[in-house]
Structure 1
């Protein structure tokens, strides 16, 4: 008798467990839950993609800064300025007539209007 009761309760427990397991799986496979799971997966994938893109952009910027420093050193752009050298000269592209240095030269009488030459 004890043996039959044991196997009966074991069978009932296995049936309850299997029924519960099947019902949970069926609820997971409803269209609403599948859509929610897909949306959650898409959001997670978007976050992972954004994080990797940000990391990639930071890596690219760091590489650019390093390469700019290397090129600056190679070309002498980042070299300290020697105080004994004179300052670079500036040349004017168009004559300044209000400047007293340019008054009285031959260039002051020349017209820069292209239409007057024809």
Structure 2
């Protein structure tokens, strides 16, 4: 009697376990689940690319600083060597300074 009960319980437990495993696998293969997994992986890949880009920028800045130090370009130029910038031009002055090369008079010469 106990033997039958033991094997019956073992069979029920194995059936429940197998059914649960199959249902989980089927749920993983639904289109919604596959789309969500693909989206998660895309976000993860984007984060990795962003971190890589930040590492590259940091390395570039370090290398640029090292090159500037090696070439002696880190010292600021003396104040009297800095050229003065020209005054900004407005749209009216730009039009007066650079006239259009082709003006039409309304008459055509043949």
Q: TM-score surpassing 0.5?
A: yes
Residue correspondence of structure 1 range 1-118 to structure 2 within 5 A:
1-72=1-72, 78=75
Q: TM-score, normalised by structure 2?
A: 0.65
Aligned to 1:114: none
In our comparison, the structure showing a higher alpha carbon Rg is 1
How far, CA to CA, are the matches of 2:16 and 2:43 in structure 1? 36
How far, CA to CA, are the matches of 1:47 and 1:2 in structure 2? 58
Gap runs ≥5 in structure 2: 82-110
Aligned to 1:113: none
Aligned to 1:109: none
Task: Flag the structure with more relative contact order, 1 or 2, with Cα contacts below 8 A and sequence separation at least 6.
Answer: 1
| Corresponding residue pairs, total | 78
Gap runs ≥5 in structure 1: 82-87, 90-118
Large movers: runs of 4+ above 6 Å: none
